[in-house]
């Protein structure tokens, strides 16, 4: 490029592209609703799953997604009442759009708390799981968003069994190859009957968890 | 659960799970190397693509991934020399593991700079694209990580055409349904011949961009 003249628009190798943010969102959601099969999901979960699909670019995510019948209503009620959002990863906390939250809700991630490495060593577990020890005072009635670590989701279920509190809803979206599938199956099949949103299998992740929280926050604010 | 005794380990509905963090990583990477077909990728990009697959739980990501032959070496050299990592989204910046970076490299995201909304209005574009105006002094030789917005990747290519600088490597991983595929095709086909890592199609995202930067940082530190 350096030998030639400053390119004009006509000479640009960049194709024309849409620059209207709200219109990009509208078209994206329209494509998802056209292509995705949401029929097996609770009606009030459709907006949620559309945003989860938007976060990852895959309409077939819907087929692996399971939402318990009361999950969306429970999440809306909890968020409206000011429940905190407890996140297993800093990326999840970072991505949540604070202005969408209906009650200035706290968004907490304890993973990088300086006490966590010692807790993990003492408890003989991962830092992601040990970080949940610092959730105890906020767990009851919270919206829990697990977007990274299967061990965090397993540990959450153990803490519920131990009587540490009962979250209003659990977004079980850990990702990966070791324990992710199993932890999501454990959440769905757990006798505690927690309200849940999961993507079965290996898929999941922090962006998907953020999409889910943002959708629930927008729904609660409506 | 509340009517019964405190559950013992034997009564827990949570299955046994692996709690050794490093071992979880080792097994995950072993599964990915067993299942993923990386044959079409440059040999020095295999660690990179393994971590990108790890970030999303999908071994078939490899088939859509394209890495230019000099991209990994360019990224390693830039990071070792102290190049900044310029990110289009706060989640990308949030996820990058700072201790992996070989030279205390700056990690920058300008999206939430207070000047951006006015810039977007003045330039008639998205905030994601307008935020790149604040990259101008750092763009030349930088590692650019686009994990969210197609408009940021399109705008980057326009700025390179305008002579704003030439990044050492572009991680082109925007996600979604409007412009993502096209922006990645524009990067790969651009006559400027920028070193690049892309996932063709709709898939991408901030977690994948983080996985890519973390892999390149670890590779540079070796």
List the domain range (segments joined by +) for residue B72.
Answer: 21-218
CATH number, residue B180: 3.40.50.10230
Tell me whether residue A6 is in a domain.
no
Q: For residue A25, what are the CA distances in angstroms to A42, A52, B35, B181?
A: 23, 13, 35, 16
Domain count, chain B: 1
Tell me whether residue A16 is in a domain.
no
Tell me whether residue B13 is in a domain.
no
Please determine, for residue B100, whether its predicted confidence score (pLDDT) is greater than 90.
yes
Looking at the complex, does the CB of residue A7 fall below 8 Å from at least one CB of chain B? yes
Please determine, for residue B198, whether its predicted confidence score (pLDDT) is greater than 90.
yes
Provide the shortest C-alpha distance from residue A113 to chain B (in Å): 15
Residue-level pLDDT at A11: 83
Provide the shortest C-alpha distance from residue A72 to chain B (in Å): 23
- A93 neighbourhood in chain B, CB within 8 Å: 94
Residue-level pLDDT at B9: 55
Tell me whether residue A2 is in a domain.
no
Residue-level pLDDT at B10: 62
pLDDT band at B11 (very low <50, low <70, confident <90, very high): confident
In tens digits, chain A (222 residues) has pLDDT values of: 333 444 445 689 999 999 999 999 999 999 999 999 999 999 999 999 999 999 999 999 999 999 999 999 999 999 999 999 999 999 999 999 999 999 999 999 999 999 999 999 999 999 999 999 999 999 999 999 999 999 999 999 999 999 999 999 999 999 999 999 999 999 999 999 999 999 999 999 999 999 999 999 999 988
Question: What strand order describes the sheet that includes B65-67?
Answer: B65-67, B196-199, B169-172, B143-146, B85-87, B107-109
B residues 39-68 near A, CB within 8 Å?
54-58
Residues 6+ apart with CB under 8 A from B146: B87, B88, B152, B153, B156, B170, B171, B172, B173, B174, B209
Tell me whether residue B3 is in a domain.
no
Q: Cα separation of B68 and B63, whole Å? A: 14
Which of A58, A163, A207 to probe by mutation at the B interface, max B CB count within 10 Å? A207
* Percent of chain B's residues with pLDDT above 90: 94
Tell me whether residue B210 is in a domain.
yes
pLDDT band at B222 (very low <50, low <70, confident <90, very high): confident
Residue-level pLDDT at A115: 98
Tell me whether residue B31 is in a domain.
yes
Q: For residue B152, what are the CA distances in angstroms to B106, B170, B195, B212?
A: 19, 12, 17, 18
Please determine, for residue B4, whether its predicted confidence score (pLDDT) is greater than 60.
no
Q: What is the interface pTM, i.e. ipTM, of the complex? A: 0.94
Per the CB < 8 A criterion, the answer to whether B220 and B73 are in contact is no
Tell me whether residue A85 is in a domain.
yes
Overall average pLDDT of the B90-117 stretch: 98
């Amino acid at each position: 490029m350096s030998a030639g003249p400053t390119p004009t628009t006509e000479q640009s190798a960049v194709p024309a592209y849409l620059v209207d943010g709200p219109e990009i969102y509208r078209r994206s959601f329209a494509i998802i609703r056209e292509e995705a099969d949401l029929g097996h999901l609770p009606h009030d979960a459709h907006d949620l799953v559309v945003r989860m699909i938007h976060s990852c670019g895959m309409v077939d995510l819907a087929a692996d997604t399971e939402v318990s019948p009361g999950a969306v209503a429970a999440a809306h009620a909890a968020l409206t009442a000011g429940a905190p959002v407890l996140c297993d990863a800093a990326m999840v906390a970072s991505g949540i759009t604070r202005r969408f939250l209906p009650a200035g809700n706290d968004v907490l991630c304890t993973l990088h708390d300086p006490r966590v490495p010692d807790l993990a060593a003492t408890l003989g577990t991962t830092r992601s799981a040990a970080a949940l020890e610092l959730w105890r005072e906020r767990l009851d009635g919270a919206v829990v968003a697990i977007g990274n670590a299967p061990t965090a989701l397993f540990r959450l279920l153990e803490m519920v069994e131990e009587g540490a509190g009962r979250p209003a809803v659990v977004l079980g979206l850990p990702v990966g190859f070791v324990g992710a599938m199993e932890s999501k199956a454990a959440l769905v099949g757990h006798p505690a009957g927690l309200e849940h949103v999961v993507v079965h299998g290996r898929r999941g992740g922090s962006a998907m968890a953020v999409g889910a929280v943002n959708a629930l926050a927008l729904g609660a604010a409506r």
